[in-house]
Chains A and B, each alone.
Chain A
Amino acid sequence: MSVVRGYNFAYLDEQTKRMIRRGLLKAVAVPGYQVPFGSREMPLPYGWGTGGIQVTASVIGPDDVLKVIDQGADDTTNAVSIRRFFARVAGVATTERTTEATLIQTRHRIPETPLAEGQILVYQVPIPEPLRWVEPRETETRKMHALTEYGVMHVKLYEDITRHGRIATSFNYPVLVNGRYVMSPSPIPKFDNPKMHRMPALQLFGAGREKRLYAVPPHTRVESLDFEDHPFEVQTWDDVCALCGADDSYLDEVIVDDQGGRMFVCSDSDYCRQRRDAGHAGHGGPSDLETVERGTP
């Protein structure tokens, strides 16, 4: 793909990148703390990853290999257009393979393949404030962070158990970083929360509309909040991936016909492909779990 002329390397001007890098350094120094930054207008709408794309633009170099995923997949609109954007304005190599990438921008998932030291994972964050649900005032939430007043976070979990008999929050599940700051992990499924704990890769978070950066440095403690008698647990599935037979990955449910037939497939398209290349195969068809009961033929 040809590199577009007329733009600075990676679209943003150098001063902006410096400003964002300074913010990121502070974020890395204080794990989980939300650093305000002067978010720029980007050539995509808010909610599509304006925060993540600015972080990526600030840390990317000509030697980087970029991978972009959206809901775990490399081939969805958002992933394709952001990857194409950086290929054009930075001229960097791109990949769909997790192991080859040095920089991974993600929305809603952490790759199933464990990340290694030297890799950077950039998250797109819609609402960076984990306390927003309980406290609408920004001045008050900042004070609560400063004074470590996190009791109210458990009110939400308490309410979950009261209503559903278990902690029903399944994504954007709040975590405590390095024993200090409660942090929103961005809307990743809670299935991915354990992967953040002591991850060897650097994790950077950017919220464009809310103008906040935060980070989890490599090998940092990340604990999901829970109760002693209702410990944190991740989702499980009764079926395996129909394409690769994986039973350890996050599965998407896909409706395949008008009779309510459905199949489960890996949400991480690269992981699924790796497994199929290695010779694994699933049962291939729709899931036989309670298939046709939903509609009358």
Chain B
Amino acid sequence: MAFTKKVTLKSSDGELFIIDRAVALQSRTIQYVLEDTNPVDAIIPVPAVDARTLSKVLEYCKKHLIDLNTDFEDYSKWDKDFVDAEVWMLYDLIMAADYLHIPPLIDLICDKIASMFKGQTPDKIREIFNIDNDFSKEEEEDFKKKSGWAFK
């Protein structure tokens, strides 16, 4: 039975995760690896993701395995709790989801980060993302003059 087959993933810090093949297939990156090489009992390295983040991603993949007994409502409540985390954790998760290519997880986290940023000032955003302000004082004043209502 294809559903009971196991796959072993190895995180960047060397931890092994033995999971159902069906769970791993939600990652398109892993899906391609499995289709290409079809490794039997081989270990698939995931060099861009550490153990803590990978376990969280796999938690998501297990929950989102198509389960006909779980209705949509259950997912949205679970998803909401899943992304109720610090911004650095969300950042690690999105980098992992991007690398493993799991579009619904990318959507979920981007929605969450966007909702956290919605009301922030440009100063606060620069602080969070470690971005240098490369605009001159005059240019910045010009923005505020042109669309001042957005800064209120």
Q: Do A and B come from one complex?
A: no
* Residues of chain B having any CB pair with chain A under 8 Å: none
* Residues of chain A having any CB pair with chain B under 8 Å: none
